[in-house]
Amino acid sequence: MTTFLIAHIVIGLIGVMASYAVLMGLLKKRLSLAFLKTAGFAAFLAYITSWVTGGYYYVLRYGPVVKPIIKDGGSPWAHAFFMEAKEHIFLFMPVLAFVLWVLFVAAGARIEKDARFKSAIIALASLVTALGIYVALSGVVISGAH
């Protein structure tokens, strides 16, 4: 079971790094669509894989064993706030990363030519990166609560 937790953490962090790479790639003066497509797909793949491994761990270990310990311990707020938020935010992460990747594939040329469109894509990439960082840090808080 520990293997699934470790995979969830490592692969999730790879997703955050890939999301950050996408954001940095978008902020460059000269876009590399090949890089954005690759990093965008890596983020999507990492988030979906982390989603599956984390879900498996949650259903079999966290929910029945760890969650009651945290809720009955000295830091029940850790689950009440951080884990509840993490659970709901993480549902959207693979979807948002997929949308970014599809935009790179389907509308890559427009990103280079249309400043308003590029700004919207940067906002979405910033959101995905910020949410990824929040989810990762929430995991750290939860881990320290039990």
Q: Which residue has the tokens 């929040």?
A: 134
Tell which residue, 89, 63, 64, 67, has the closest CA to residue 76: 67
What confidence tens digit (pLDDT) does each residue in 48-64 have? 999 999 888 888 877 77
* Whether the model pTM is above 0.95: no
Q: What is the pLDDT of residues 104-126, one digit of tens each?
A: 999 999 999 999 999 999 999 99
Match 């940067």 to its residue by tokens. Answer: 122
Give the C-alpha separation, 141 to 35, whole Å.
33
